[in-house]
Structure 1
Amino acid sequence: MQNQAEARVVIIEDDQTIREGYTYLINNTSPYQVVNTYPSFDAARQKIGRDNPDVIILDIQMPGTNGIDALPLLKKTLPDVYIIMLTVHETEKIILEALANGASGYFTKNTPSSKIIEAIKDVLQGGGPMSPNVAKKVITSLQKNPDSPLTKRETQILSLMSRGKDRSQIANELFIEIETVKTHIKNIYLKLDVNSKADAIKVAKNNRLV
Structure 2
Amino acid sequence: MAVIGIVEDNKKIRDLIQRYLDMQDKMDCPVAVDSVEEMLEHLKEHQKPDVILMDIQLPGMSGIKGMEIIKEKYPEIEIIMLTVYHDSHKIFDSLKAGASGYLLKHTSLPEIKESIESLLKGGAPMSPQIARKVISHFNEETPKKNENSALTNREQDIVNGLVDGLSYKMIADRYDISIDTVRAHIRNIYKKLHVNSKAEVITKSLRGEI
The answer to whether TM tops 0.5 is: yes
2:100 is the counterpart of 1:104: yes
Give distance in 1, aligned partners of 2:141 and 2:48: 43
| CA distance in structure 1 between the partners assigned to 2:47 and 2:36 by the alignment | 14
Question: Is 1:121 matched up with 2:117?
Answer: yes
Out of 16, 25, 32, the position equivalent to 2:11 is 16
One of 129, 132, 139 as aligned partner of 1:133: 129
CA distance in 2, matches of 1:68, 1:120: 19
Closer/same/farther in 2, CA of residues 145 and 58 from structure 1, 3 Å limit:
closer
Q: Is 87-96 or 71-80 further displaced after alignment?
A: 71-80
Q: Could you tell me whether the CA contact under 8 Å between 1:30 and 1:117 is conserved in 2?
A: no
Alpha-carbon distance in 1 for matches of 2:92, 2:131: 11
Give SS of 2:80's match. strand
- 2: CA distance, partners of 1:122 / 1:135: 15
**Distance (whole Å) between structure 2 residues aligned to residue 62 and residue 145 of structure 1:** 31
Cα deviation 1:153-189 (Å, max 9, x = unaligned): xxxxxxxxxxxxxxxxxxxxxxxxxxxxxxxxxxxxx
CA distance in 2, matches of 1:118, 1:73: 26
- Among residues 24, 29, 32, which one is paired with 1:34 in the alignment? 29
Match runs of 1:1-210 below 5 Å: 6-49=1-44, 50-144=46-140, 146=142
CA distance in 1, matches of 2:34, 2:141: 42
Q: Is the 8 A contact 1:84 1:104 kept in 2?
A: yes
In the aligned structure 1, how far is the partner of 2:141 from the partner of 2:49? 41
Structure 2 distance, partners of 1:42, 1:72, is 13
> CA shift at 1:30, angstroms?
4.4
Q: Distance in 2 between the 1:77 and 1:38 partners?
A: 19
After superposition, the CA RMSD in angstroms is 1.7
State the 1:51 CA deviation.
3.2
What are structure 2's unaligned runs of at least 5 residues?
Answer: 146-210
Structure of greater Rg: 1
Give the aligned residue type for 1:109: K
TM-score for both structures, normalised by structure 2: 0.65
How far did residue 29 of structure 1 move? 3.1
* Cα distance in 2 between the residues matched to 1:145 and 1:54: 34
- Report deviation, 1:144: 1.8
SS in 2 for 1:34: strand
Shift in Å, 1:90: 0.5
Contact 1:83 1:103 in 2 (8 A): yes
Deviations 1:113-142 (A, max 9, x none): 111000111111111000000000011111
Dislocated runs of 4+, deviation >4 Å? none
